[in-house]
Amino acid sequence: MRKALALLLAVSLLVGMAPMALAQEEPLELTLYYPVNVDGPLVALIEQICADFTAENPDIIVTPIYTGNYDDNIIKLQTSFESGTQPDLVINLGTNRFSMVYSDYALCLDDLIASDGGDEYINDFVESFMIDSYVDGKIYSIPFQRSVNILYYNKDMFAAAGLDPDIPPTTWEELIEYAQKLTVRDESGDTTQWGIALGLSTGSAQWTFTGLALQNSLDGSGLATQDGKTVLFNTPENVEALQFVIDLQQKYKVMQDGIIANGDLPTMFTEGLVAMIENTTGGMTSIASSGINFGVAMLPGPRRNGAPTGGGNIYICNGISEERQKAAWSFIRFATDPERVAQWCVDTGYVVTRYSAMQTQTYKTYLEEWPQAAIGLEALKYAAPELTVYDCAKIWRIFNDYVQAAIIGEMSAQEAMDAAQEEATQALSKYQ
């Protein structure tokens, strides 16, 4: 009888433990928030990276969740933290780093880096991109889908206008001259081809104007100080930059009136509506696939070379367990593997983020087939992050609203920049 009872007890214990054992064997499920802000097959590519990671790490499932554009992404991230349902990982703008840390959304990665990769890993990333990873000397994100603004131009249109297809404009004066020759009007005076187009829509004006500010600055400064606490909107050089854009539309009439959406620029370009655009390298693959005969160049500037960097970094979210943190870090290491970084650049047109990725045969072959992509590396020598401040989304809205007011003629360039400076300074006062 005792033996029977003992056997029954053992069986009961095993049955009771079975669910626990099964639970332990279930894979860890992580979520990744990601935005898409440019044309191209990014959704499929992100999903493929996650699927490939799980294939190599069957104990971890990373589920990608598309969140819209970068603005939508920020809103959904905020909402998730407010409800306690934040993701484990998020691809968010590097320029949001101050706000991510201030809001306690981003996990400091220093300990994870020290235990896996250390300085050897970090020093392999391009410095112009790593700038967007630091807050107060600590690392909170890793560069992922990064880009820089460049000039795209239609070589066939250049030739038709009597311009050398291999000699793009290098100054604002030349840009105006070229754009005048490239602007075509029919017998009734309607414009059938614009000379130049710049993205001035909400969420993009600060990107465009960072480049203009860098090019026109006396000392290489942009639209804000490096600590993210002070804006520089109404300097004489930045007011001049805004007036330059207004003049392209109103004085020289080489750019379409009103506010041009940044996301519309590649389509306008490939459909032959505009001869030159200033746009992200992240759209190069999409433009190239159209078959258009195009060239690329540094952004033309009056005083110096300059271009804004932008795009997304990978963050690990605060408030998740240590186990999930380590799993999330393993995904970051997987996604930023040199070969994978190189292939990402080939598939998207984004700029390569790691020096070791530049040495892969995948990337070397890519440059041989598409030499235009090398302009991204050249631009990085003169690049700096787009407008980066605390409460970035709010400051961007302020800047964008006043720039647009000047573009549509509601305010002068000086009035707009003065008003933006005053309102942004007030908004940033709590961070001083």
Write down the domain spans for the chain: 28-147+310-384, 150-309+388-431
Instruction: State the pLDDT at residue 349.
Output: 81
Q: How many helices (H) and strands (E) does the chain have?
A: 20, 13
Asked, colleague to colleague, whether 28-147+310-384 and 150-309+388-431 share their fold, the answer is yes
**Choice between 380 and 161, residue whose per-residue pLDDT is larger:** 161
Read off the pLDDT band of 39 (50, 70, 90): low
> In the chain, what percentage of residues exceed pLDDT 70?
93
Instruction: State the pLDDT at residue 71.
Output: 80
Whether the per-residue pLDDT at 40 is higher than 90: the answer is: no
The most confident of the ranges 9-18, 154-163, 277-286 is: 154-163
What are the tens digits of pLDDT across the range 194-246? Answer: 999 999 988 789 999 999 999 999 988 899 999 999 999 999 999 999 999 99
**Amino acid at site 395:** I
To which residue do tokens 């290491």 refer?
333
Torsion (CA) 107, 108, 113, 116 in degrees, nearest 10: -40
CATH class of residue range 28-147+310-384: alpha beta
What are the tens digits of pLDDT across the range 113-154? Answer: 999 999 999 999 999 999 999 999 999 999 999 999 999 999
Whether the per-residue pLDDT at 249 is higher than 80: the answer is: yes
Read off the pLDDT band of 10 (50, 70, 90): very low
Distances, alpha carbon 117 to alpha carbons 97, 224, 330, in Å: 22, 33, 11
Mean pLDDT lowest among 13-22, 97-106, 119-128, 295-304: 13-22
Whether the per-residue pLDDT at 356 is higher than 90: the answer is: yes
Read off the pLDDT band of 38 (50, 70, 90): low
Whether the per-residue pLDDT at 326 is higher than 90: the answer is: yes
- DSSP bridge partners of 213: none
Q: For 411-420, what is the mean pLDDT?
A: 98
- DSSP bridge partners of 187: none
**Terminus-to-terminus CA distance in the chain, angstroms?**
79
**Choice between 180 and 19, residue whose per-residue pLDDT is larger:** 180
Read off the pLDDT band of 36 (50, 70, 90): confident
CB contact at 8 A, 304 and 384 = no
Domain 150-309+388-431 = CATH 3.90.330.10: no
Instruction: State the pLDDT at residue 3.
Output: 45
> Mean of the per-residue pLDDT values for the chain?
91
212, burial (CB in 10 Å: exposed 0-12, middle 13-18, buried 19+): buried
Whether the per-residue pLDDT at 45 is higher than 90: the answer is: yes
Instruction: State the pLDDT at residue 1.
Output: 44
Read off the pLDDT band of 12 (50, 70, 90): very low
What are the tens digits of pLDDT across the range 366-379? Answer: 999 989 889 999 99
Whether the per-residue pLDDT at 68 is higher than 50: the answer is: yes
Q: Residue 410 and residue 316: Cα distance in Å, rounded?
A: 43
The pTM for the full model equals 0.86
Q: Residue 278 and residue 298: Cα distance in Å, rounded?
A: 9
Read off the pLDDT band of 393 (50, 70, 90): confident
| Token pair recorded at residue 141 | 């994100």
